[in-house]
Amino acid sequence: MRKWKWFVYILECLDGTYYTGITWKPEIRFEQHLSKFGSKYTAKHGVRKLAYLEEHEDLETARKREIQIKDWSRKKKEKLIKGDWKKEW
């Protein structure tokens, strides 16, 4: 039985906002966002780049992490993206 890896990701949108999501196929999901079929949010705001990607062993852990990150302030997300988050959190 194949065990899927799950990924939490943050996209930087064209207007500078961030979008956080989960997937088991990051490359395909990124292409979906670029083609405006990934989510209503990224279809409206556009996608500049993949800013952050984090691997998880199971869907439950990835979902919890996605919810956690979505609740964070912009400043805290930027620290995570830059790799500085461990210094304060």
Cα–Cα nearest to 62, from 5, 2, 3, 6: 6
If pLDDT is split at 50, 70 and 90, which confidence band does 85 have?
A: low
What is the per-residue pLDDT for 2?
A: 62
**Interatomic CA distance for residues 32 and 61, integer angstroms:** 23
Q: Per residue in 14-53, pLDDT tens?
A: 999 999 999 999 999 999 999 999 899 999 999 999 999 9
Q: Per residue in 65-76, pLDDT tens?
A: 999 999 999 999
Degrees to nearest 5, angle at CA 69 with 55 and 24: 30
Decide if 45 contacts 11 (C-beta within 8 A): no
Query: Where exactly are the structural domains of the chain?
Result: 6-88
Backbone torsions φ then ψ of 15, nearest 5 degrees? -90, 10
Pick the CATH number of 6-88 from 3.40.1440.10, 1.10.1760.20, 3.40.50.720, 1.20.120.350: 3.40.1440.10
If pLDDT is split at 50, 70 and 90, which confidence band does 6 have?
A: very high
